């Protein structure tokens, strides 16, 4: 009897099986038996999968891992970010690590970022806080993209919640200004220093008398002394434009000369000693200066007793209602109303961007704006008369 050919048998006696590979193409495998051909297919499939094995996805990185890697980067010896900026970034890094935790970076989209911003809004945080938090999250995603094979930054399309409270850094009120200007003694000198030079607090704290050139009528800030955990540390000025020559105004010169006569060139201008002020010294001395002027309030504070977690120690602290540094804003507004050109105002303020001078520091004053209303009324009246 003639033998019947089975499906897959060949004339040479081999068996074959045709299988579809992962790339979509078909391939034929041969063997002395169907089992042998099938085993060859399985071996080839396994080999193909190992050869074409996908690289680990970027999504394998969690937000916490990326945030910790970014924090290590900005605190590395290369110091890509200034020390003071690192401290402000950490205020937002830790809460975001708690919020996002082990969520994969690739799974965090704009809506999830917005969830965190809504969380801040629900806690009553100000718009400025939300802006800073969003900026820090964006930095984490940028680092992930640049150094950890990340795929995108969703923060750029995450909008801020509406109607968040806005905290403005304002100049002193007219009453506060007049009261402090009437008492230039003691720490009142600090207010005059900010009002007539526009220096930043770190610049002023790092200013020495050798940086004041009475002959040329200029002040040359050369270093900053900001604070970290109360202690001052030396740092370069905030921007390249901060290295500037500040003119000694006529109203400031007598006060400067009086103070300079009591100190050596190496003494710090604000502290009056060989050491710059600590943060607590600055706050306490200014609060005590403001106290008899009625510009300080008494606040109750509580701290846990050591070894007694359920018990508190109650103490009181005086807090000033206006800071000496607010007079820097007064300086910026005076530049505007004096008609100083934008570029010059930017230079005197030491800002890298003119929009910072305009948007944040220069403040409109209703009483001074009235004169422009009078000018407009006069113009319209003259126009009407000439046309009639």
Task: Map residue 376 onto helix, strand or coil.
Answer: helix
Q: How many residues does the chain have?
A: 388
Task: Map residue 315 onto helix, strand or coil.
Answer: strand
103 near 62, Cβ under 8 Å? yes
Write down the pLDDT at residue 5.
38
Write down the pLDDT at residue 10.
64
Task: Map residue 371 onto helix, strand or coil.
Answer: helix
Write down the pLDDT at residue 4.
36
Instruction: At 30, give phi and psi (nearest 5°).
Output: -115, 155
Write down the pLDDT at residue 360.
66
Which string of DSSP letters, residue by residue, matches 221-252?
Answer: ---B--EETTEE--B--SSGGGS--EE--TTT
- Measured distance CA(67)–CA(140) in Å, rounded: 6
pLDDT tens, residue order, the chain (388 aa): 343 334 455 677 788 888 887 777 888 888 888 888 888 888 888 887 776 665 555 458 999 999 999 999 998 887 778 888 888 899 999 999 999 999 999 999 999 999 999 999 999 999 989 999 999 999 999 999 999 999 899 998 999 998 888 777 788 999 999 999 999 999 999 999 999 999 999 999 999 999 999 999 999 999 999 998 899 999 999 888 899 999 999 999 999 999 999 999 999 999 999 999 999 999 999 999 999 999 999 998 888 888 787 888 888 889 999 999 899 999 988 888 888 888 988 898 888 887 777 766 666 667 777 777 777 888 788 877 887 6
Which string of DSSP letters, residue by residue, matches 125-186?
Answer: --HHHHHHHHHHHHHHHHHHHHHS-----GGGG-PPPTT-------PPPHHHHHHHHT--ST
Write down the pLDDT at residue 2.
40
Sign of CA dihedral 87, 90, 92, 94: negative
Element at 218 (helix H, strand E): strand 218-219
Q: Quote the tokens at residue 64.
A: 């916490």
């Amino acid at each position: 009897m003639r033998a019947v050919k089975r499906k897959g048998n060949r004339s040479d006696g081999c068996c074959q099986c045709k299988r579809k590979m992962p790339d979509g193409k078909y391939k034929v495998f041969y063997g002395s038996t169907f089992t042998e051909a099938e085993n060859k297919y399985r071996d080839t499939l396994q080999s193909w999968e190992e050869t074409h094995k996908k690289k680990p996805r970027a999504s394998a990185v969690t937000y916490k891992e990326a945030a910790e890697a970014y924090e290590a980067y900005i605190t590395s010896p290369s110091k890509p970010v200034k020390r003071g900026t690192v401290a402000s970034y950490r205020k937002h890094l830790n809460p975001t690590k708690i919020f996002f935790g082990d969520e994969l970076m690739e799974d965090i989209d704009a809506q999830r970022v917005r969830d965190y911003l809504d969380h801040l809004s629900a806690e009553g945080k100000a718009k400025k806080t939300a802006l800073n938090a969003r900026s820090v999250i964006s930095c984490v995603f940028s680092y992930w993209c640049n150094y950890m094979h990340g795929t995108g930054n969703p923060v750029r399309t995450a909008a801020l919640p509406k109607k968040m409270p806005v905290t403005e850094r304002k100049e002193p009120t007219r009453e506060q200004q007049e009261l402090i200007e009437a008492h230039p003694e003691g720490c009142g000198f600090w207010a005059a220093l900010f009002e007539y030079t526009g220096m930043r607090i770190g610049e002023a704290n790092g200013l020495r008398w050798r940086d004041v050139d009475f002959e040329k009528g200029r002040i040359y800030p050369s270093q900053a002394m900001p604070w970290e955990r109360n202690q001052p540390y030396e740092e370069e000025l905030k921007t390249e434009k901060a290295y500037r020559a500040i003119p000694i105004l006529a109203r400031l010169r007598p006060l400067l000369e009086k103070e300079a006569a009591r100190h050596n060139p190496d003494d710090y201008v604000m502290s009056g000693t060989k050491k710059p002020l600590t943060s607590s010294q600055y706050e306490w001395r200014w609060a005590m200066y403001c106290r008899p002027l009625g510009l300080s309030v008494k606040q109750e504070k509580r701290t846990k007793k050591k070894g007694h977690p359920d018990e508190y120690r109650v103490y009181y602290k005086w807090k000033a209602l206006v800071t000496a540094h607010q007079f820097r804003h007064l300086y910026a507004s005076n530049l505007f109303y004096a008609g100083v050109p934008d570029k010059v105002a930017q230079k005197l303020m030491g800002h890298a961007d003119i929009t910072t001078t305009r948007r944040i520091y220069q403040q409109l004053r209703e009483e001074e704006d009235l004169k422009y209303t009078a000018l407009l009324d006069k113009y319209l009246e003259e126009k009407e008369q000439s046309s009639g």
